[in-house]
Amino acid sequence: MKSLILPSLRLLIVTQLICVAAYPGIILTFAKVTTPDTASASILTDAKGNPIGSRLVAQDFTRPEYFWPRPSAVDYNGSGAGGSNKSPTSPRLTERAGEIIARHGATAERLLPPDLAAASGSGLDPFISEAAARFQLFRVAGARSVDAEKIEPLIAGASIMPGGFLTGTRIVNVLELNLALDAMK
């Protein structure tokens, strides 16, 4: 047994040097050179250079003149992400959906797109479905006193199919859409 400890220690040292010092070092350098922007979490800045958020991380929008993201079980906490972890039989999920329906003003005639009622796994999903953006179009246009037809092209322009023909739904990045809205003024 004793004779095995020294070779084990030698393995520890050599694997630490190669897997922990060298390997991440190489990946860090590669990232810094090729993708400096996404490597530091895709942070966006305003005209003055102040950071306003990450393209990949949802932030809270509650004002009527902005498009709202999907619900977040962690209140859009970028340093403590998580989902609701509620099961489909949980009455809490139904209650929460009721509050969201009221906030969005959905009715039996104007059904809420399901992604706006369901919290994402991370609580930070930066996307909503294109249908969810269109659902909010009239509220946003009304709050901004702008014709809905003027905002509509922004949605169409921001809408993507993330996997091409491998995905069924078109989705829209909420922060980018809201930035485009603000730029319109």
Q: Which of residues 18-57 bind another protein (CB under 8 A)?
A: 18-20, 23-24, 26-28, 30-32, 34-35, 38-43, 50-54, 56-57
Q: Tell me how far, at minimum, the Cβ of 140 lies from another protein, in Å.
A: 13
- Interface residue with another protein among 147, 150, 159, 162 (CB under 8 A) is 162
Residue from 49, 107, 147, 183 touching another protein (CB under 8 A): that is 107
Residue 108 binds another protein (CB under 8 A): yes
Give the position of tokens 């702008």.
Answer: 146
Three-state DSSP class for residue 45? strand
Nearer to another protein, 5 or 149 (CB): 5
Please answer whether residues 132 and 113 qualify as being in contact, where contact means their C-beta atoms are separated by less than 8 angstroms.
yes
- Which stretch of DSSP H or E encloses residue 164? none
Does the footprint of another protein cover residue 117 (CB under 8 A)?
A: yes
From 48, 49, 145, 166, residue interacting with another protein (rule: CB under 8 A): 166
Q: Which segment (15-23, 140-148, 150-158) binds another protein by CB under 8 A?
A: 15-23
70 with 118: CB under 8 angstroms?
A: yes
Q: CA-CA-CA-CA torsion for 153, 156, 158, 164, nearest 10 degrees?
A: -160
The only residue of 81, 137, 146, 180 in contact with another protein, by rule CB under 8 A:
81
Instruction: Tell which one of 72, 84, 154, 158 touches another protein (CB under 8 A).
Output: 84
Residue 103 has which token pair? Answer: 């906030």
Interface pick for another protein out of 48, 64, 94, 141 (rule CB under 8 A): 94
Residues 132-161 interacting with another protein (rule: CB under 8 A): none
Listed as own residue / partner, the contacts of 137-142 with beta carbons closer than 8 Å and 24 or more positions apart are 139/64, 139/105, 140/64, 140/65, 140/66, 140/67, 140/181, 142/64
Q: Is 90 helix (H, G, I), strand (E, B) or coil?
A: coil
